[in-house]
Amino acid sequence: MRNYYIAGNWKMNKTPSEGAAFVKELAPKVAGAKVKVLVAPSFAALQAVGDALKGTNVLLGAQNMAAEESGAHTGEVSPAMLKDLGVKVVILGHSERRAIYGETDQLINKKVKLALAQGFEVILCVGETLPERESGKAVSVTLGQLSAGLKDVQAEEMKNIVIAYEPVWAIGTGKTATPQDADDMHKEIRQNIGSLYGPPAAEAVVIQYGGSVKPDNAKELLSMPNIDGALVGGASLKVSDFEAIVKAV
C-alpha cells in the first residue's frame, strides 16, 4: 500500500530565519497527518529549518546535491554536508536544474546513484516541455528521462526512489495538467518501472505530481489512482496553502 507523500520545494525563497519560523507554524498543523510531509529549503536555510523541525513528523529535504563526494567543486554541496545537517531526502533532476543550469540525464543519474549509495531517499523529477507535449513527444521524453535517471539503479534500491512527474509547462505558470492527463502519464511511468524492475516495484513506487498544485486542485489530483502525492512549489511557501494540500489527501 503506497503512502501519500506531499513535498514542498521552496526553491530560492525564505531566509534561514523565515524558514525556521515557517516550519514552527506548519509542524503543529500537520502533526496528525497520515501522509508523509517534507520541506526542501535552500542550502543556506537547511541548518535553521532542520533545527526547528526536530521532534516533528516533517522531513528535511535538499533541493539538489553534488555529483561528487568532495574536492575542488566550488559552490557545490556534498552528500556528507547534507547528511551532517540532518537531510534525509534529495530532490534531483528538477526541470529548472535541467533547463536553466544544463544538467544532463547522465549527470542526474550520477547524482542519483551517489545519493542512494549515501543512504538518501531520492525524489527524481521527470517531465516534458510544452513544445514536446504539443509535438506528441511527452511520453517518450518523460520515459527517456526516467530510464536515464535510473540507469544502473538496482531493484533493491527502488524502495528509496520517489518519482515526481512535473510537466514543465505547468510549473509556476498557473496552468495545470488535467487530473486525467496527469494520471495517464503517472500510469505510463508506473508501467515503465514495471518493465524495468517488475510489477511489485511498479506497484510500490510513489509517483508525485508537480505542476502548479494548489489547495483548489489538490483534492481532485490526489484522488486519481496513480497520483500518490505532490511536489509543491509556490503553494508550499504559505502555511495555510501547504497545510490545505496536505489535508486534501
Domains along the chain with CATH numbers: 5-246 (3.20.20.70)
Question: Active-site residue among 94, 121, 128, 243?
Answer: 94
- Percent of the chain surpassing pLDDT 70: 99
pLDDT greater than 90 at residue 168: no
For the stretch 201-237, pLDDT in tens is: 999 999 999 988 999 999 999 999 999 999 999 999 9
The pLDDT assigned to 114 comes to 98
CA 133, CA 72: separation in Å to the nearest integer?
39
Rounded to 10°, the helix 179-197/215-222 angle is 50
Q: Encode pLDDT of 118-139 as tens digits.
A: 999 999 999 999 889 889 999 9
Q: What pLDDT score does 141 carry? A: 97
94 as an active site residue: the answer is yes
| Options 132, 166, 188, 243, the catalytic residue | 166
Please report the pLDDT score of residue 112 as a whole number: 98
Report pLDDT digits (tens) over 8-54: 999 999 999 999 999 999 999 999 899 999 999 999 999 999 999 99
Does residue 170 surpass a pLDDT of 90? no
- Note the pLDDT of residue 138: 94
The per-residue DSSP string of the chain comes to: -PPPEEEEE--S---HHHHHHHHHHHHHHTTT-SSEEEEE--GGGHHHHHHHHTTSSEEEEES---SSSSSS-TT---HHHHHHTT--EEEES-HHHHHTT---HHHHHHHHHHHHHTT-EEEEEE---HHHHHTT-HHHHHHHHHHHHTTT--GGGGGGEEEEE--GGGSSSS----HHHHHHHHHHHHHHHHHHH-HHHHHH-EEEE-SS--HHHHHHHHTSTT--EEEESGGGGSHHHHHHHHTT-
Q: Please confirm, yes or no, whether 186 is among the known catalytic residues.
A: no
